[in-house]
Structure 1
């Protein structure tokens, strides 16, 4: 990964500020909530794979329905007038604005967490922390918003559904996991492939935190865990087909 700020240099002074620490802590709290839910709703003798995937989908749902939903909220409802900022700031890269067409047909408005941050919204400040590594999340990037609409309104609720089906010990959960995992992998590819094609123009990989924690670690979670979910689901479905085939052969032999 490269990008315009990929050269080595001194660490930014806000690398471990209060907002950053609170943001990272919030992620850990959501993971802990997923684990606590697995202890409450899964039987004590649940398979390790079932517990891991329950925790993952609970965590996935919380991320989508709380954090990513807040990103969409700020993209559509948080704005400041362009007249409130200097011409120099508008001409610079301080604000992320779609070009050549303005977002929602409003050329006189600046939308996104970048506006919510100026207005003092806590979750907007969280997204501005992540935007230090990937500046598209500061404003209404059209590709990101398009994917997040599907993620928040489809993948998030489906992740909750998966947890419910696991708690009910229903085998059809494997089909649901395949659907969600495929969507997560496709979404991840469509999030970063545009950046790869422009040599990571919007990414800042100048320090360990931005590159390996924000960009690599947090994003590849939505690669390795969906791949694991697909592996488990395909194995379970294949076993079911094997049983059906054995029954069919037994009937034919009789």
Structure 2
């Protein structure tokens, strides 16, 4: 009689490797804030720096490796190497990442070469305390929210055939946790930048009205 297949554990070897890599990226991002930002920087700006540095490195390494493995006739499922194993593991939760789905690949091209480069540009603006960064933060956050929406909405509308939510590992770790962070933080960044832009424009408007009077 066939036995039931054991459910995957949360901390597989690939999960541990991925977590260690992400931890290193987060530590580098944290330390870079101490190097490039003044000690009296607002906590909001320090958090933004850490997030953008982390975001850029994730885009260029993790998602950059996916693009490399998924273009010019290649696929994750037929590739080998540490990053290929990482994406094969994720593809167990979302099969589209294993077979070079054209929508996913197109979104990742924008993510790596668009969002990744904008992250670096905004980091430069932050280091120079350039308030124009708030415009680009809204552009970046809007793009990342749109990318997340277009990653999952078409799948939900067509019955989620590629998504495997059969256990906690796939649902809560791979599909929810690894994606929801790119929803809440961009929304917060947009809120913070909106307040800066709106208050500056209102102040300028008040000054102009005073001069007219």
TM-score by length of 2: 0.94
Consecutive aligned runs of 4 or more in structure 1 exceeding 6 Å deviation? none
Give TM-score, length-normalised by structure 1.
Answer: 0.79
3-state DSSP of counterpart to 1:111: coil
Pick from 186, 189, 192: which aligns with 1:229?
189
Count, aligned residues: 210
Output the CA distance in 1 between the equivalents of 2:103 and 2:37.
37
Q: 1:11 to 1:24 in 2, by over 3 A?
A: farther
How much has 1:16 moved relative to structure 2? Answer: 2.7
1:150 CA displacement: 0.7
- Which residues in structure 2 correspond to 1:75-224 (within 5 Å)? 75-77=70-72, 111-117=74-80, 121-224=81-184
Counterpart CA distance in 2 for 1:207 and 1:182 is: 31
Cα distance in 2 for residues equivalent to 1:188 and 1:64: 14
2:15 pairs with one of 20, 31, 34 = 20
Structure with higher Rg: it is 1
Structure with bigger helix share is 2
| Alignment pair present for 1:66 and 2:61 | yes
Tell me: higher relative CO, structure 1 or 2? Use CA pairs within 8 A at least 6 residues apart: 1
CA drift of 1:246 comes to 1.3
CA contact (8 A) 1:11 1:207 kept: no
Tell me the distance in 2 between the aligned counterparts of 1:122 and 1:10. Answer: 25
Q: Distance in 1 between matches of 2:5 and 2:122?
A: 44
Unaligned runs of 5+ in 2: none
CA RMSD of aligned residues (A): 1.5
Q: Given that residues 75 and 98 in structure 2 are in contact (C-alpha distance below 8 angstroms), is that contact kept between their aligned partners in structure 1?
A: yes
Is it true that 1:43 corresponds to 2:3 in the alignment?
Answer: no
Q: CA separation in 2, counterparts of 1:166 and 1:11?
A: 49
Contact kept? 1:65, 1:152, Cα under 8 Å: yes
